[in-house]
Structure 1
C-alpha cells in the first residue's frame, strides 16, 4: 500500500471520528438518561473501530518514513511507474542513455533491452537514481540498478569539487550502506555473502579505496549491494536481475 493511499484512509477515518464527536456534543433536549448512555457506548465503539482502522492501515503501509523502498517483482514497466508514483506522485524521470554489459547482466546479449526508465528520488544524504531495464517487445522488467550517488550523470569537470567534499564522508557512506542493507534484508532475507565492515585496498591507480559488499542469490534471481568509496567514485549500488 502506497503512502498516498495510506494517508487518504487515515484522514477519512480521523474526519469520521471528528464528525461523530461533533454530533455527540450537540444539544439534545428531551432525551432520557438511559438513551444518552446507550448512545455514548455506541459512539465509543465507533471511535474504537476507526482507531483500529488507522492502526491497521499504518501497519499495512509498505512505505515507511526513513526506509528505502525497493521494487523486486518481474513485472511490466507500467507497474514500476505506478510503484514509483506511490512514493512520489510527481516522479522525476531522467532521460539518459545507459547500456548494460554482460559482466553485470549475463543475459544482456540474448535480449533486446530498451533504454531504461530512470527515476530520481530525493534523499537526506544521497539521492537515489533507480534504473529499470526492460525488454523492448514485451516491456517486462529484466534488470534493476539503484545508485545512491550525487550527480550521477554529471560531467567530469562539474564533479571535481563534489569529489573533494565526498571524499571526507566515509563514515556517512558506511552508515548509509548499513541502513540500505538492513532494509534489503527485510525484503530479501539474510544475504548469502556479506562483509561486516569496510575493506581497505589499493587499486590499480595506486589510490586507497574502501568497499563493502553483500550478495543474495536463489534459483531465479541474483542481487548485489556494493559500497565503493575512493578514486573519484563515491557510490552505493544495488543491482537485481532475473536469471
Structure 2
C-alpha cells in the first residue's frame, strides 16, 4: 500500500511543489491538451463571452471520459455538476483536486475505482456523502465547507486512509456531530479539523489513532481536550501544545532566543 512521505504528512498530500510541477501549469482549451499523467484545468470563471465559456466546458465534458493517460487532475476554477460528472467517467484517475464547486450530488464518485487522493475545496451545496464510503482505495480525503453535512459516519468505512481533513472555510464553520466515526481509521497519520465545531466537544476518538503524526484543529475546544492529545505516541505536528496561550508563549520564547 502507498505510504505518505514525511512532507506529505506535515503539509498535506496536495501541497504545491513548483519544482516537481505539482500541479502542472493550468490550461483552458481542449486544443492545448497533450497526453500526460497530470492535468490542471481552469475552464470556468473565464473573461470570455458566456457562449464561449459554455463551449469550452462542453468540449472538456466530452473529452475527459476518454483521457486514459491522466492519473492526477486539478480543477483550479469553480466546478459545476456537469464537469464533475464527466470527471467521474475518467478510467484511470488516482488523484482529484477540486478547488471549489457548486456540486450537489457526488454519487458518481463510485465510478472512480482507482481513486487514492481526493480533495474537495469549498462545496457548500453537497447534500449527501454516502458515495465516499465506497471509495475503499482512498489514502487521503480532504473536505472543506460541507456545511449541509454534520454526520460523517460514512467515512468510517475508509480503513486505508492515512490523511483526512474535515474543515470549514474562512467564513463558515464546519459542524460535526462527533469524531466517533474516525475510531476505525487506525492508519491515519494526519487529521485536520480547521474552523470546526464538534458538537460533543470530545477528542476521545482521536486517542485511538495511535499512528497520528499531525493533528490540526481550531482552538475553540476545552484545554482539557488538547491535554489528552499528549497520550498520542507519534504526534509531533499541529496542536501539540494544549492551548493557544501556550503556543504564543512558545513563539515568544523562540523570538527571544534569536
Normalised by the size of structure 2, how large is the TM-score? 0.24
Greater Rg over alpha carbons, structure = 1
Normalized per residue, the structure richer in helix is: 1
Normalized per residue, the structure richer in strand is: 1
